[in-house]
Chains A and B, each alone.
Chain A
């Protein structure tokens, strides 16, 4: 076991290389998850905001009835 982690005396180089590789890959996954959550929250908030307003039926056509 110790022999395995020692890598023939080159532990610093071997684990330094593999460590940074998988640190970065895992960090990328975590950052992607976090940004996905942030975006979905934003989308959800925007949808709720829209739902509270009188909903325009057709997005393309301008709605003249602002005050009733």
Chain B
């Protein structure tokens, strides 16, 4: 059996699917986030590291790392949908990219904010023009630029293509962020973030961090699909299926 995937590439076909997915992802995200908060605050040690340990403030890791991961992952997904949109000229792909952008920008801001609140007690400063901090800030501006460029062009098809191109160019920031950590010899180049490995982390901390990541991921699905529905309705306002959906069962009787 083959499924014609392009059938779901039509906004009219995907609108009800998105509507059904939003509550599923929302509930799953809420559950995971609550579990992670419980585990992160009550099942983890109060210190992190051996000599010169980080004290309770290390718990910022439970929101900082997941949001930083999501900021990069969502940008990758945004750029991928932009690329698919440019290649196949599918409207839904561009809409998907637009639906992801605000959530990605929020997670980027959260990563910066929580990083500042973690940096003050551990590094002694809220902000430094460190490679990773600076490149993450640029990623934030990429999201803002993507949304600003899209909203600055009135013709939505042209706005889609221009913003998509910008998103793909901005992809260059992702490897910069990823590799902007200390090089093997810290005497040659120093960065605030050190090379780290998930296998070194204490298992309870890892549990809380990974469930929060999954929770944020599902949250992103929920908000992106919810926003997608709004974008579809706004853009397809004049089309027959939107009219039928609204005035179908009760023809223009009850309003809301």
Q: Is the CB of B230 within 8 A of A39?
A: yes
* Contact indicator per residue, chain A 32-66, by CB within 8 Å of chain B (1) or not (0): 10011001111111111011100000010000000
In angstroms, how far is the closest chain B Cβ from the Cβ of A27? 9
B contact residues vs A (CB 8 Å cutoff)? 41, 46, 55-57, 59-60, 63-64, 67, 102-103, 106, 109-110, 113-114, 117-118, 120-121, 219, 223, 226-227, 229-230, 233-234, 237, 240, 242-243, 246-247, 251-252, 255-256
* Contact indicator per residue, chain A 8-46, by CB within 8 Å of chain B (1) or not (0): 111001101110110011001100100110011111111
Q: Chain A residues in contact with chain B, CB under 8 A?
A: 4, 7-10, 13-14, 16-18, 20-21, 24-25, 28-29, 32, 35-36, 39-48, 50-52, 59
Q: A10-B121, A14-B59 are in contact. List 18 more A-B contacts (CB 8 A).
A: A8-B46, A8-B56, A9-B55, A13-B60, A13-B118, A13-B120, A14-B117, A17-B63, A17-B114, A28-B103, A28-B106, A39-B230, A39-B233, A40-B233, A43-B233, A45-B255, A50-B243, A52-B252
Pair A32/B233 contact, Cβ less than 8 Å: no
Nearest to A31 among chain B residues (CB) is: B102
B230–A36 contact, CB under 8 A? yes
